[in-house]
Amino acid sequence: MGRPARSDQFIPDEIAVVHAVQRCVRRAFLAGVDPVSGKDYSFRREWIRRRMEALASVFGVDVLTYAVMSNHLHLILRNRPDVVAQWSDEEVAIRWLRVFPGRRLEEHLAEPTQNDVQMLVNQPERLALIRRRLSDISWFMRALSEPIARMANRQEECTGRFWEGRFKALRIVDEAGLLACAMYVDLNPVRAAMVSKPEAAIHTSAYDRYRGERGEMIDSAAFDLVPIDTAGAGKEIRETPVAVLKAKRRAKKRTPTGRRIRRDEWLAPLQLDPQILSHQPEVHTSGLRASDKGFLRLSWRDYFELLRWTAQQVFDGVNAKLPPRLAKLLASQGIDASMWRELVWNFKKYFGRGSCAGSSPAMAEDAQRHGRGWHRGQKAARAFFVAA
């Protein structure tokens, strides 16, 4: 069976939660030590994390969880057309130009000016298309993957394809499936025997949230969403040596806004606020992420406790008993606690070849909505999910 069309999995006009996996071609190494060449590409991990952070500040896409592995990336993304609809035309234009500045005569400056923004605002048809793209998960992944491929090829002094192909997308259709998938992503370094505890896995969302809860601050990678003055830009180009302009641009790329933020502040909040109606967009106004909406009905404390317990269940066939509080938590999500370890550690086995994941009733409903009889993995899901 061929891979489903993207339009069957998610469209920019509808909110969807998607597990995206981007894998390197052949033996290419994304990050870590390449066992063939012996070269260490670990430095790329932070560059990739910062790129995700930067894109989260301009796209209408929430980054829920992520993990940067040696030869692939895991992300759980939620597109937010409802948030993008709240942005003004000027906001849409500057956000787009920050990521896709186009070709400029003065490439060493390459920053959107007020004139650039206004020119785009005066093209309503193109602006409508751009507004749609800013809540498109495919465009988010494109803006993430293409620069990584160019950088890797430049560092390795080669050309050609770096990624295996288009990213693998798995739509998550309910909160129980999202909890299992989020744990699966956060535990990837533990599964790969890179670390023994999830809080030690740098360049994962679990690490960022763990360190953020302890107050760790980092230099923000968020884009500066204020266009530069056109007249001032022209004067700077005329009166400043090119070398100085390039140095200034490099410095601004390191910290575009000059701000320091909590390590996890660019990620979507984990806990849903029960006091806020589910249809409200909760637009984020500080320029770090799309929205302030959470995605699970449990606290970080509960999530982390369950994550650490699950990380300790490394042996197949050994079913340690969940603490009563965690078992009750899973039951409230409609998950069979006795099957939790199997679900998370072997999530790819049961859902990796399909197009969506979740409880069996939710998958059946989604299949019907898309004119299909069933989804791959739907039968297996019956063993893991029960009525709440």
With bands split at pLDDT 50, 70 and 90, how would you rate the model's confidence at 1?
very low
Q: Which residue would you say has higher pLDDT here, 132 or 279?
A: 132
Classify residue 246: in a domain, yes or no: no
With bands split at pLDDT 50, 70 and 90, how would you rate the model's confidence at 152?
confident
Closest CA to 168 of 155, 180, 181: 181
Give 343-371 pLDDT, tens digit per residue.
Answer: 999 999 999 888 889 998 999 898 888 78
- CB distance 36 to 24 below 8 Å: no
- Residue 271: phi and psi, rounded to 5, are -90, 130
Taking the alpha carbons at both ends of the chain, their separation in whole angstroms is 33
Tell me, what DSSP letter sits at residue 66? E
- CB distance 185 to 21 below 8 Å: no
What is the model's pTM? Answer: 0.91
Domains in the chain, number: 1
Q: Which residue would you say has higher pLDDT here, 251 or 117?
A: 117
261-280 average pLDDT score? 92
What is the reported pLDDT for 318? Answer: 60
Amino acid at 364: A
Q: Is the pLDDT of residue 17 over 90?
A: yes
What is the reported pLDDT for 107? Answer: 45
CA distance 184 to 352: 12
CA distance 384 to 337: 8
What is the reported pLDDT for 240? Answer: 75
Tell me, what DSSP letter sits at residue 128? H
Classify residue 318: in a domain, yes or no: yes
Give 182-224 pLDDT, tens digit per residue.
Answer: 999 999 999 988 999 999 999 999 999 999 999 999 999 999 9
Classify residue 130: in a domain, yes or no: no
Q: Which residue would you say has higher pLDDT here, 387 or 182?
A: 182
Count of Cβ atoms closer than 10 Å to residue 64 Cβ = 25
Tell me, what DSSP letter sits at residue 33? B
Amino acid at 43: F
Classify residue 86: in a domain, yes or no: no
Domain hosting residue 14, numbered range: 6-80+135-222+259-381
The dihedral region occupied by 381, where left means phi > 0, alpha psi between -120 and 50, and beta the remainder, is: alpha
The CATH number for 61's domain is 3.30.70.1290
What is the reported pLDDT for 19? Answer: 96
Give 301-342 pLDDT, tens digit per residue.
Answer: 999 999 999 999 876 666 678 889 999 999 988 999 989 999
Report the residue count for the chain.
Answer: 388
What is the reported pLDDT for 148? Answer: 85
Percent of the chain topping pLDDT 90: 55
- Residue 276, CA distances (Å) to 86, 282, 293 in order: 17, 9, 9
Classify residue 104: in a domain, yes or no: no
Q: Which pair of structure tokens corresponds to residue 151?
A: 């950088």
CA distance 381 to 176: 11
